[in-house]
Structure 1
Amino acid sequence: MKFVWLILTGLFCLCMNVLLWRSEYGGGSKGNPLPVNKVVAKILDTPDPSELDIFYQGKPVGHCRWVVTQLGQDDPEESVLNASDKEGEVDLEAAEMSGLIQNIHSYNVNVDGYIQGEGNPHRVRFMVNIRLNRQWEWIRFDGKIGIKNQWLHLHSDRKKEVFVLKIEQEETQWETQVSFDQFQNPQALAGLLLKENPFIAVTLTPLMGLLDSMYQPGSANSLQASDWAKKWEAFSDWMTVAHARMRIYRLESGQGNRNKLVITVNRAGEIVSINAPQKISLKNESVFGL
């Protein structure tokens, strides 16, 4: 009888070890499913910035810095972009220090970087600041892109339901407002902007075409924005980098390989990599040693 109990105890321990191993190393090719909110919270709550190299079709084309600052109720409402100097530099160190709080009231998501195509002597700088509330709903958006002495600004306040578009070129400035409803018809919006300022049409016509394909239902070959927004999935998995295994969390959205967006983060919430459509990818320089 004792021998039978020893066998049963051994089988029980073996089964428990198998279950623990499956829980630790993944239940399939995608890893173990997780609540999406858990992974998003890790990304937004980490105080550590992510230094990301940008690739297009496998070739390096730029670099950006991602940092999320957690703000308390008494923090000033000014955008981080308001602290930029004439050359477009952003004081992200001050932004990071302002995020060292306990009671989080809102978040500032800041992305600052550049893109430089092969053979192009000019670096295109871009800066993005998105304010989120405690429920992760966007409150305000500030964007800035351009080269020296030529900048395009885009600002939006959700309560006002308008986008403010401003162009600075040398000593010339031009500004207009676009309502949220106008973005439902991108081609008509492009025509309106063309009448007001030819330069803005040259800049935004490709963007209008992309928006048109994204918001056009039934287009089999288009990048549907609703595909990305419809369903996010999260997984806990492992990644091998330079012969070392590291625990990672993965967010996935979209259908098929071409339209899929995959965000990989480590256990601390730092972004490890981003794989986007159109063969665009971002890789953490400290992880991949690029």
Structure 2
Amino acid sequence: MFKSLLLGVDGSAAGGVAASLALDLAAPLQARLLAVHVDGHDDHATLPTRDVSQGGFLSLGEFPHSGEDPQVGRRIRERLGHVRRAAREAGLDGETRELHGPLLETLLLAARECDLIVLGRHGVSAEKRWHPQAGEVIRHLLHRAELPVLVAGVVDEPLERVLIGVDGGAAMRRVMASSVALASALSLPVQAWAIDRDSARARHHLDAVERYGATHGIAIETHVAEGHPVERLAALAEEGDLVAIGAFGSGVLHEWLKGSTTAGLLAHTPRAVLLHH
């Protein structure tokens, strides 16, 4: 399912975590890895940016521009070189590109060659607090991307489990297919949680998840819980978890947050998050 991964590269610490995650995924998947740095702006995703290491905020997708700061340019070239060498050492098909143009348009054009987009957890301050506007940038990307987006966690940690938030929506079904495929390829256990006031409805959704897992040869442990869906999912996520959630839709998660689920989940958990619209 994942034959080619697109990695968005910049010179930040968050970008380094994303690069490490993309390489860790590409090896067992035997996937082609395309690492790109986009040196350009997008009117729909331009937010004020400062160096994360100085305690400021860096918007997701608003990669530092190599032409504006020689040190940034050097870090970006070093990271591209590292990804290229690491891919080659792992026996992978790895390619790096420095692209110019409107950010989202250019990134989405490159994504046409790929099955999964991997990005760094930008928008996080030095105190590990999430900048609320950064979720809007992800939302723009998710609305237009035809493929899932994996936002790396705050720190580099190996994936050990997949945690799916289940609400019965179409977006959830798409992200379930992606997350189960990843779990199967990486030999990871899978838990699915339906957090709903209506336990009968929750169990109905989870029965469908169990059938899907059985059809694809993977056991999915299912649970019903009550409470605020995003807060509960975030509390359940442990070190090494990949949290998978449908980004938009009409399911229970979206009844709670009226479309702000993406930003809400990223604000509550430092773990890697897989999203699909």
* Both structures adopt the same fold (TM-score exceeding 0.5): no
Give the helix-richer structure, 1 or 2: 2
> With structure 1 as the length reference, what TM-score do the two structures score?
0.26
Give the strand-richer structure, 1 or 2: 1
Report which of the two structures shows the higher radius of gyration computed on alpha carbons.
1
Higher relative contact order (CA 8 A, sep 6+): 2
